[in-house]
Amino acid sequence: MQLALIRTYFGFTSLVDPTTAAYKSFKLFQKVKIKKVRKREEVFYDTISVTEIPYHKEPIRLYETGNPEGDLVLLIHGWESNAGSMSQIGNELAQIGKRVVSFDLPGHAYYESASTNLLECKEAMMTVLNHLNPQKPFSTISHSFGSAVTAFCLAEADYEVDKMIFLTGPNKVENVFNEFKEVIGLGGKAYKKLLEITHDKLGQPIENISIQRNLKKINYRKLLMIHDRYDKVLPFSNSAEINDTIENSQLIGMEKIGHYRMLWNEEVIKRCLGFIKGKEVL
């Protein structure tokens, strides 16, 4: 019922006032509708210490576990998720002596704000990296939208990266916008204006923003992607496109691991740890 009302509103407003429809849709696009922390994620927040670092929107909540002297692994969660969603992976990494750092993306989890966008999240990750100031190559593990954030951030950062793991990822931002347009029923003129607004915000047209483009700008050694072949949230084709055009990458297609459940899947975690250790992953 709610979606029907949204489609009616944007369909009508697109006809009578495309500019208003564009700005309203841009605001809706940035809305983090799910901020709830699930029970198994609550354990993470109840047991880990938090450090707040300055950020222009509101302080970033930073979490650290494992060996402070170990190799750094940075975890980046997905859209409408939180740092706790990556906690099982983090716990396993801590047990093998890694320094594990995660953070909540702006607008998520316990922040007061409930909206954000790719640019803000990229800037937040850059703030975290500059705070940590790694002096040697580090690794990242990201999920879904977090993979786009990671690629966008590292493409503009002057850091050496050892290994990256993408647990799914939306390759082309343009595809995400096209799907959003269809879902809310945004008209052609309003959509064109939305793209102009987004261009101004990001500093470049959305067709230029993709994981595969950004990867070519990153100084990294190896990339591993894991994706459910029947993922209902982000099609497997996203990772396949990246793997077809990027060197030093490996794609593992799995089944029945889902989009979110994969973060707690023993086989997925086993492969992540093996890759981080430098072992061959099959």
| pTM, to two decimals | 0.95
Q: Does 222 lie in the same domain as 91?
A: yes
Q: Does 183 lie in the same domain as 152?
A: no
Q: Does 46 lie in the same domain as 132?
A: yes
Is 112 a domain residue?
yes
For residue 110, the 8-state DSSP code is T
Between CA 82 and CA 93, with CA 88 as vertex, the angle to 5 degrees is 115
Q: What is the per-residue pLDDT across 188-246, written as a single tens digit (0 to 9) for each?
A: 999 999 999 999 988 889 988 999 999 999 999 999 999 999 999 999 999 999 999 99
Domain of residue 263: give its range. Answer: 34-168+214-233+248-277
Is 282 a domain residue?
no
Q: Does 112 lie in the same domain as 66?
A: yes
Kindly report the CATH number assigned to the domain that includes residue 52: 3.40.50.1820
Q: Indicate if the pLDDT at residue 1 is higher than 60.
A: no
Q: What is the Cα–Cα distance from 260 to 269, expressed in whole angstroms?
A: 13
The alpha helices in the chain, defined as continuous H runs, are: 2-16, 18-29, 39-47, 87-95, 118-132, 145-155, 173-184, 188-202, 211-215, 237-245, 266-277
Longest dimension (CA), the chain: 60
**Domain boundary residue, one of 194, 209, 224:** 209
Q: What is the Cα–Cα distance from 85 to 40, expressed in whole angstroms?
A: 8
Is 239 a domain residue?
no
Q: What is the per-residue pLDDT across 52-110, written as a single tens digit (0 to 9) for each?
A: 999 988 999 999 999 999 999 999 999 999 999 999 999 999 999 999 999 999 999 99
At 232, the amino acid letter reads K
Is 161 a domain residue?
yes
Q: Does 48 lie in the same domain as 100?
A: yes
Total structural domains within the chain: 2
Q: Does 156 lie in the same domain as 24?
A: no
Q: Does 257 lie in the same domain as 122?
A: yes
Q: Does 188 lie in the same domain as 131?
A: no
